[in-house]
Structure 1
Amino acid sequence: MGRRIVGPVVTFAGVAAAFAYVGSVDPNEPGHYPVCPLYGVTGVLCPGCGGLRSAHAFVHGDLATALGANAAAVAGYLVFAVVWVIWLVHAVRGRPFRPRVSPLVGWSVGALALIFAVVRNLPFGSALAP
């Protein structure tokens, strides 16, 4: 079983290390992280803007602030967690894990990200802006 779970365990360790770093180095304080290139050049929020602040709040258990900084990122954290658990269970049972995303799901996620990005840049969608 040892070799089968290396992938999920190493992936978890990497993600945990990244969240630990973002949890300990506050992105709300200027100078710790680079500015989003799209936002820096155009002033337009991309779908990922606020993701580090969201992760920082999420690590500290402040779900309301995490959702306010970037609700799409929080949804991504939860989707990752579910997929990772499924991957780990498959590895423990010795079954291959081959996630498949249908084109419809891929296009739908892309469309939702685009809609999220557009709406959060409009006056009525300011609640979605970090």
Structure 2
Amino acid sequence: MGWYEWSAQLLLIGLLAGAIPCILKLERTLAAVRRDRQALEASAAGLGEAVRMAEAASLRLRATAEGAGRQVAERLAAAEPMRDDLRYLVERAEGLADRLEGLVRMARPMAAPEPAAAVPSQAERDLLRALSQGLAGARSGR
């Protein structure tokens, strides 16, 4: 072996020794990347499950909303004839109320109260009788 070979081998050993810290750092970084990758895959699996659950909930919500919409439409369809009947009854009632008001106005002059004759009540008659008997008894006792 010549001195060139020894120099080349020493240079190679020096380079390899200098590369060892970089290799250790790279190995730690790769281990951290592998751990993060596993955590990311687990998160992605959880996210996928959450997306599936959200889609299922969205479908159920849509179905519920459609069912509620159909119920509202059915109730509106059932209420329209009732609304028309009520409108007709209100119109008739307004006409009848107007006629009744006219009749009441016409009847008021006819029903004007006549001056009532003073009719004594039973208590007043009893009082008058007692007074007249008292006076008659007082006259006879003189």
TM-score (norm 1): 0.21
Structure whose alpha-carbon radius of gyration is higher = 2
**Where is the helix percentage greater, Structure 1 or Structure 2?**
2
Which structure has more relative contact order (CA 8 Å, sep 6+)? It is: 1
